[in-house]
Amino acid sequence: MEITVIHLIILGVITGLTKGAGLLPEGPLNAAVGGTVMFTTTLTPAEKPFITAAWKFGDRNIITSNVGNITGPEYEGRITYFTSTASLELRNLTLNDSGEYRVTITPQGEAQKHGNISLSVHVPVSNVTVNASGTDLVEFSSSVHLSCSSSGSSLSFLWLNGSSEVAASDRVQLTDGGSTLTIVNVTRYDQGPFRCRVFNPFSNGTSDPVNLTISYGPENIYFTISPTQESFEEGSNTSLSCSAVSRPSALFNWFLNGDLQSDTGPELTLINIQMSHSGNYSCQAFNKKTMRYQTSQPSVVSVLERISGASVKSSTNMPIEGSSVNLTCDAAGAVFTRKWVKDGSNLTLTENMILHDNNRVLSFISLNKKDSGEYSCKISNPINTEEATYTVVVNYGPENVQITGPNEIHIEQTLTLTCSAESTPSASYTWTLNGAELQNSAIFTKNITELSDSGNYICEAMNNVTGRTSSSVVHQLSVTAVKTSPCSAGCIAGLVIACLVICGAGFGGGYYIYKKRINNKPQAHDTEREEHMYENTSEVYENI
């Protein structure tokens, strides 16, 4: 549009150059058919009439003013002449009035003046319409021709897409003076609205909008699973959705492991899903206008059976130290992982343990007593987790057999000997003396009555589960006839000294009384008493 206006300006400047450029304004003048134009000179109103003034259109006289005004026959009733400035008004214009107008003026006392100017008479712009070769198009495949027509003269054309001016490019062509717009391999952005604006120097007009329907896609296909999770429990529900950028809206088909399903539409709902519903799902979008389609990447729907009935079973109910045992962890349902725990802590494998069959079996190559404990197996899948527990009791022994009890005892005392051993389950015990079986118990008791009860008391331990018998343990016992003082040597010495002191005091007191009585009684009687006192003292010492 800017180029067209510049051309018109340049044309007007060239046309408007006159010898009397100062007498008339620069042209050209523009007017409409049936309208009016005013040719106004630059002169100030004269006090005295001009000697002569004449207007001509080409070789045709319009008006000559001398003594009187003479009007050309073609202009009778169409002009008004202003004598004070020699200006001219021309009415009821036709296309034939377009051309160059000249004026010659001879003021009184001045030299003659000349001027000329061009007039362009235009038919006003009207009835602007646009015709399209087609409006239902396919992106990248279709082309379209838009033709603009209008009533009027000296017409120029401008195309608009929305509010933006359409410019020529590799895909866009403007021909027939700009009245025809051709778009090759249309895109979705060429849908319009397109308008044609027509103008001439006097008027302009714009067509009604034309919209193109451009089909495109499908593209940018998007597939989602709701709820969003890796696996679904058997019997649950899930929904699969598919979308794509497409005009018109795409049609959708569904595939399971590459096989076309009977379900159609942008959403596929799976109710009470079973194991048979597991697989790779994909959706395909199809545009019936463009005849194009796009398929999504497959997404996995994994249907799992809930874990139930978890258990840990042993290959034997009576594990014995040194033997091999298998603990097997099993459950119904879809098992993904198994994790072993011992006594509440994650199981640390020792040299005699092996996990195999995807951690299903825990094998003990050679049991030892430290392997006893509570073993738990946690079985998991993305749906749920179950745990089963088994208590391992390693049967072992007997070992480390010991006898506790006295090594010396007196006749008429009770003998108690205790036999113990490390054993699971608890061991049974047998006592023998000099080859004769005495008793079957951990504690052996006997009232000692004879010196012959002395000897080697033997204890033998046996584990009824392991079937093992310990080595015999010997306990030597000595039986004595004299009952020894329970008092210690120091205690005995103290008692002897105390008795001697008491006896000495008694003897001294008795002797004092005896001497006193001798002095008061006959001698024969006193001698008898003294002998009796010594007899008593001798008995005391014997008892001591």
Q: State which residues form the domain around 42.
A: 2-122
Q: Assess whether 531 and 426 both reside in one domain.
A: no
Q: Assess whether 8 and 116 both reside in one domain.
A: yes
Within-domain flag for 504: no
Amino acid in position 50: F
User: What count of other Cβ atoms lies within 10 Å of the Cβ of residue 518?
Assistant: 15
In sequence order, the 6+-apart residues with CB closer than 8 A to the CB of 71 are 62, 63, 79
pLDDT for the residue numbered 518:
40
Q: Hey, what are 445's tokens?
A: 């008791």
pLDDT for the residue numbered 98:
94
Q: Hey, what are 182's tokens?
A: 């051709």
pLDDT for the residue numbered 497:
52
Tell which wins on pLDDT, 411 or 531. 411
d(CA 238, CA 491): 97
Within-domain flag for 242: yes
Per DSSP, 276 falls in state G
Percent of the chain that is helix, strand, coil (3-state, to 5): 15, 50, 35
Q: Assess whether 349 and 404 both reside in one domain.
A: no
pLDDT for the residue numbered 528:
40
pLDDT digits (tens, 9 = 90+) for 262-288: 999 999 999 999 999 999 999 999 999
Strands (E), 143-250: 144-151, 156-161, 164-165, 172-175, 180-183, 194-199, 204-206, 213-226, 231-233, 238-247
- Ranking 75-84, 339-348, 477-486 by mean pLDDT, the lowest is 477-486
pLDDT digits (tens, 9 = 90+) for 386-406: 999 999 999 999 999 999 999
Q: Assess whether 365 and 444 both reside in one domain.
A: no
CB 181 within 8 A of CB 194: yes
Residue 18 pLDDT exceeds 70? no
d(CA 120, CA 115): 17
The last residue of a domain, from among 168, 190, 211: 211
pLDDT digits (tens, 9 = 90+) for 132-157: 999 999 999 999 999 999 999 999 99
pLDDT for the residue numbered 482:
66
Name the strand (E) or helix (H) holding 497.
helix 489-518
CATH code: domain of residue 245: 2.60.40.10
Q: Assess whether 243 and 262 both reside in one domain.
A: yes
The last residue of a domain, from among 211, 244, 274: 211
pLDDT for the residue numbered 316:
95
pLDDT for the residue numbered 349:
95
Mean of pLDDT values over 315-344:
95
pLDDT digits (tens, 9 = 90+) for 423-480: 999 999 999 998 889 899 999 999 998 998 999 999 999 999 999 999 889 999 999 9
User: What count of other Cβ atoms lies within 10 Å of the Cβ of residue 301?
Assistant: 20
pLDDT for the residue numbered 13:
34
The last residue of a domain, from among 98, 122, 146: 122
Side-chain-facing half-sphere of 358: CA atoms under 13 Å: 8
pLDDT digits (tens, 9 = 90+) for 286-310: 999 999 999 999 999 999 999 999 9
CB 46 within 8 A of CB 82: no
Q: Assess whether 145 and 252 both reside in one domain.
A: no
Residue 511 pLDDT exceeds 60? no
In sequence order, the 6+-apart residues with CB closer than 8 A to the CB of 437 are 430, 431
Residue 4 pLDDT exceeds 50? no
pLDDT digits (tens, 9 = 90+) for 78-97: 999 999 999 999 999 999 99
Indicate the number of domains in the chain: 6
Within-domain flag for 511: no
Q: Hey, what are 286's tokens?
A: 């199809």
Within-domain flag for 337: yes
pLDDT for the residue numbered 44:
87
pLDDT digits (tens, 9 = 90+) for 186-210: 999 999 999 999 999 889 999 999 9
The angle subtended at Cα 340 by Cα 335 and Cα 346, nearest 5°, is: 135
Q: Assess whether 108 and 32 both reside in one domain.
A: yes
Helix (H, G, I), strand (E, B) or coil at 182: strand
Within-domain flag for 497: no
d(CA 154, CA 518): 193
d(CA 399, CA 154): 126
Residue 12 pLDDT exceeds 70? no
Q: Hey, what are 22's tokens?
A: 């100062």
Band of residue 258 on the pLDDT scale cut at 50, 70, 90: very high
pTM for this structure?
0.60
pLDDT for the residue numbered 483:
55
